[in-house]
A and B are shown apart, each in its own frame.
Chain A
Amino acid sequence: MVVNKSMELKGFDKSVAIDQEEILRPKMVTVEIAGKKYEVPEGITVIKALWYSGQEVIRGAGCLGGYCGACATYYRTKDDPKVRTCLACSTAVEDGMSFTMVPPFPARKAIYQMAELKDPKQDLFNLYPEAPLCRNCNACTEACPQGIDVRDGVWKAVFGDFKGVSEMFMDCVMCGLCVPVCIADIAPNLVALYASRAQGAHFSEKPKRLHERIDEIEKGSYKSEWDRILTMDEQQLKDVCAAIK
């Protein structure tokens, strides 16, 4: 491949190619963390603001990438009475913001053996009898940092549309913010997880090709090919690999 080495970007300094320190002096903003005011750089994430203000976070830090739901947080922006929810790892601070991390909520998870369920759509009402008691307040949907229409999902589960539920909740990070707000004591994320798993385990087609492959392997269909490959010397094997397109 031809690479043109002629053009250098103006002001480019090789020594800082993998620098981590911010070059610009950050603009500072005032935020309130659990009732105390701190000055932190504008635009850093909520969890970084906690570290910046000297606080250790163990309960509340997880993947730091918006996938695990460990850092569920309540926050309010300046002069707005509305308390909102967010993931602390994926939300930037702004001046006048006030926030507190959400402690774990003691939601009840039903215990079930997925393979043994006879009628999963009916079993839902035994496992989560509160699910059909939704009063349509929509607080769960408003609490969802992933923008899932949680209320609609609960109704879909109740009406047996498990496929619909599984599609809607693929984005769910199980942060549980929909749970404490429910006036009917439903844990919508857990109801959705149950419905999604049941959809996969009970209502999805068995993939034919996969089962054929499992049979082939069990029958030893690849034995001669393995023997050929695994008895090669290093160079022969290298040549075989080099020839792969």
Chain B
Amino acid sequence: MQLQALQELVHKSRDARRKQTLTKFPADERDQLIKKYHPDYRENAYRPIKFGPNAGELTVRELAALLEGDSPVPADLDLTPAYSTDVLVVGGGGAGCAAALHAHAHGAKVLLATKLRLGDSNTVMAQGGIQVAITSEDSPVQHFLDTLKGGHMQNDHQLLKTMVEEGPSIAKWLLDLGVLFDRDPDGNLHVKKGGGSSKPRLLTCSDYTGLEIMRVLKDEVLNKKIQLLEFSAAVELLSDGSGNCTGAVLQDLDNKRLFVVAAKTVILATGGIGRLHIQGFPTSNHYGATGDALPMSYRIGAKLLQIDTFQYHPTGAVHPEQLVGALVTEGIRSEGGHLVNAKGERFVNELDTRDVVSSSIIRECEEGRGVRTTTGRIGVWLDTPLLDVESGAGTLEKHFPAMVRQYKRYGLDITKDPVLIYPTLHYQNGGVQIDVNGESGAHNLFVAGEASGGLHGRNRLMGNSLLDLMVYGKRAGSTTAERAKSMTHGKLTLEHLKRFRAEAHKHHGALATQSPMLFPDYVRKES
């Protein structure tokens, strides 16, 4: 049946649904739902890691292969540095730019290297907003508790407390740089309510929050004349032989040559893993989201945390085919959009946490209440026209211009018709274990943003990622800059890699994959 005909039920059921209130699932029902339907609980997608700091722990097969994978760097590489710097920042997204700007502000010589262009990242796509507790009925403590609840009580308390407390000053820093957050008529910052949050706390720039922040930070990195190497990917770290990080080996992606950067400290801000397409899921992530920090940190001896849990954003596009995996912002549900199955029924409180909502969508589809497209995909409806019905014509257009535009490109009008959605691989909940300044288990190796782990527990709340990037980018940047003042460059060796390879040879199948992956391989090999 054509989608056009199937969606009639969404229009017909709208008025009845508007009168309905769905309560959130009780705790035990919610746990059962997640265990049965969330992709994190599909046992055959996981296997134990064979060796290294996380030996024996479970992670998804795609990541395990990269962690046990081999470096592209030959053991006899000439380690004469092409560049020498106080702070090497790897990654040009939100965390990388924040780290570079703060390190620069603290007087350090900074080199920012990124494998694509400055600003190419997941940050630029963040639509939902940034969580900062500013209203009188809200507080940093409430923000802490909401996040802890959303993360299934598995969040690192100290990391989380630091993030929520520094939120307001980070918002001020962004405002001073010229970021245009939405305002209330009285001049205060406008706040919206996000999934899993008990109070409205999201600062937004319509649905372009990430783009606006990224445009400004990028411009600022250029204004500060921070040394920039684009299309230069870090492929291995360097150590002094006693576990301290002393720099990195990078690859110039234009001529494929390897070169060495000597650095007193290194900050990895390489983002998440969506492009590994874990369990075959489509992803909302950018082209370079291949988790490069994880294998590099692992080889130098840093421990990873909670790498068995990933966030599947409930509302990834399913139709049209060109948009598969792309995000339909949570903001639509924040403003009252319903999720509707093939029978025209709601089936979950749309503002429950992402893992709950995703699991419930998968349940609808697996139990036969999903809608199938002509290309064989399946999903449920997100009733977008409802927003205009509830809040007046033009609401969608005004609040979600990016979303309206994205669909309009393919001839679909989301103000008139609902859209089909299914969970899409969105976020790496865990990552490299860090302390409150962003330092990993390997001395002088810092990790900031999505690449790091512990802060979000087993499920990140909407709007906490942008804040994470800014707060921990700042802390890593200022800590490394201050430390650089009282230290000298260390010896440049590949001792850790030698040890890693020696260990790997004891395990069948290790070193089979080269890592970091850098990019997904989408190029078709034969005709």
* Residues of A near any B CB (own CB < 8 A): 1, 3-5, 7-9, 11-12, 14, 16-24, 43-45, 48, 51-56, 58-59, 61-68, 70, 90-92, 109, 111-115, 146-147, 166, 170-174, 193, 196-201, 204-211, 213-214, 217, 222, 225-226, 229-230, 234, 237-238, 240-242, 244-245
Q: Are A222 and B286 in contact (CB under 8 A)?
A: no
A18, A65, A197: which has the most chain B beta carbons within 10 Å?
A65
The 6 closest A-B pairs by CB, nearest first: A197-B178, A23-B376, A200-B178, A205-B187, A8-B368, A241-B149
If A58-B116, A111-B225, A210-B168 touch, whether A201 touches B177 (CB-CB below 8 Å) is yes
Q: Are A9 and B180 in contact (CB under 8 A)?
A: no
Task: Report chain B residues within 8 Å CB of A230.
Answer: 157, 161
Task: Report chain A residues within 8 Å CB of B165.
Answer: 217, 222
In the complex, the chain B residue whose C-beta lies closest to that of A200 is B178
If A9-B342, A171-B405, A208-B187 touch, whether A56 touches B523 (CB-CB below 8 Å) is yes
Extra 7 A-B pairs, beta carbons < 8 Å, given A22-B376, A208-B187:
A54-B523, A62-B287, A111-B223, A173-B211, A197-B219, A201-B175, A204-B175
Task: Kindly identify, within residues 89 to 148 of chain B, every residue whose CB is under 8 Å from any CB belonging to chain A.
Answer: 116-117, 119-122, 124-125, 132-136, 139-141, 144-146, 148
Q: Are A68 and B172 in contact (CB under 8 A)?
A: no
* Residues of B near any A CB (own CB < 8 A): 22-23, 25, 27, 29, 116-117, 119-122, 124-125, 132-136, 139-141, 144-146, 148-149, 153, 157, 161, 165, 168-169, 171-172, 175-180, 183, 187-189, 198, 205-206, 208, 210-212, 215-216, 218-220, 222-223, 225, 231, 253-254, 277, 279-282, 284, 286-287, 320-322, 326-327, 342-343, 345, 347-348, 362-363, 365-372, 374-378, 401-402, 405-406, 409-410, 422, 519, 522-525, 527
If A113-B223, A200-B180, A207-B189 touch, whether A217 touches B140 (CB-CB below 8 Å) is yes
Q: Are A213 and B116 in contact (CB under 8 A)?
A: no
B514 to chain A, nearest CB (A): 16
A19, A55, A67, A238: which has the most chain B beta carbons within 10 Å?
A67
A–B Cβ pairs within 8 angstroms, 20 of them:
A1-B22, A1-B23, A3-B367, A4-B345, A12-B370, A21-B376, A61-B287, A63-B121, A68-B124, A174-B215, A200-B180, A201-B175, A205-B183, A206-B187, A209-B136, A214-B168, A214-B169, A214-B172, A217-B165, A222-B141
Q: Are B287 and A64 in contact (CB under 8 A)?
A: yes
If A113-B223, A207-B175 touch, whether A92 touches B286 (CB-CB below 8 Å) is no
Task: Report chain A residues within 8 Å CB of B524.
Answer: 51-54
Bound-complex Cα distance A245 to B351 (A): 11
If A18-B281, A20-B280, A229-B141 touch, whether A70 touches B231 (CB-CB below 8 Å) is no
8 Å CB contact of B327 from A59, A65, A208, A211:
A65
Bound-complex Cα distance A4 to B342 (A): 12
Q: Are B148 and A1 in contact (CB under 8 A)?
A: no
Q: Are B410 and A92 in contact (CB under 8 A)?
A: yes
Task: Report chain A residues within 8 Å CB of B144.
Answer: 229
Q: Are A170 and B368 in contact (CB under 8 A)?
A: no
If A62-B117, A65-B286, A245-B198 touch, whether A18 touches B219 (CB-CB below 8 Å) is no
8 Å CB contact of A217 from B168, B188, B254, B282:
B168
In the complex, the chain A residue whose C-beta lies closest to that of B196 is A244
8 Å CB contact of A244 from B177, B198, B211:
B198
Q: Are B367 and A5 in contact (CB under 8 A)?
A: yes
Q: Are B216 and A197 in contact (CB under 8 A)?
A: yes
A54 to chain B, nearest CB (A): 6
8 Å CB contact of A18 from B206, B279, B368:
B279
Task: Report chain A residues within 8 Å CB of B146.
Answer: 244
In the complex, the chain A residue whose C-beta lies closest to that of B180 is A200
Bound-complex Cα distance A54 to B521 (A): 11
8 Å CB contact of A170 from B180, B284, B374, B375:
B180
Q: Are B376 and A241 in contact (CB under 8 A)?
A: no
In the complex, the chain A residue whose C-beta lies closest to that of B401 is A171
If A9-B342, A19-B376, A58-B231 touch, whether A209 touches B189 (CB-CB below 8 Å) is yes
A39 to chain B, nearest CB (A): 8
A7 to chain B, nearest CB (A): 6
8 Å CB contact of A242 from B27, B134, B188, B282:
B27
Q: Are A67 and B375 in contact (CB under 8 A)?
A: no
A145 to chain B, nearest CB (A): 9
Task: Report chain A residues within 8 Å CB of B22.
Answer: 1
Bound-complex Cα distance A111 to B377 (A): 49
In the complex, the chain A residue whose C-beta lies closest to that of B135 is A209
Task: Report chain A residues within 8 Å CB of B175.
Answer: 200-201, 204, 207, 210
B135, B136, B149, B281: which has the most chain A beta carbons within 10 Å?
B149
Q: Are A171 and B402 in contact (CB under 8 A)?
A: yes
Bound-complex Cα distance A203 to B180 (A): 11
Task: Report chain B residues within 8 Å CB of A68.
Answer: 117, 119-121, 124-125, 286
8 Å CB contact of B177 from A19, A59, A197:
A197
Q: Are B321 and A44 in contact (CB under 8 A)?
A: yes
In the complex, the chain A residue whose C-beta lies closest to that of B373 is A23
Bound-complex Cα distance A242 to B31 (A): 13
B141, B320, B343: which has the most chain A beta carbons within 10 Å?
B141
A47 to chain B, nearest CB (A): 9
Q: Are B402 and A67 in contact (CB under 8 A)?
A: yes
Task: Report chain A residues within 8 Å CB of B281.
Answer: 18
A163 to chain B, nearest CB (A): 9
In the complex, the chain B residue whose C-beta lies closest to that of A61 is B287
In the complex, the chain A residue whose C-beta lies closest to that of B222 is A109
Bound-complex Cα distance A208 to B376 (A): 52
B161, B168, B327, B422: which has the most chain A beta carbons within 10 Å?
B168
Q: Are B365 and A17 in contact (CB under 8 A)?
A: yes
B454 to chain A, nearest CB (A): 16
8 Å CB contact of B375 from A4, A24, A206:
A24
Task: Report chain B residues within 8 Å CB of A242.
Answer: 27, 149
Q: Are A238 and B187 in contact (CB under 8 A)?
A: no
Task: Report chain A residues within 8 Å CB of B401.
Answer: 170-171
Q: Are A241 and B368 in contact (CB under 8 A)?
A: no
Q: Are B343 and A59 in contact (CB under 8 A)?
A: no
Bound-complex Cα distance A197 to B174 (A): 10
Task: Report chain A residues within 8 Å CB of B345.
Answer: 4
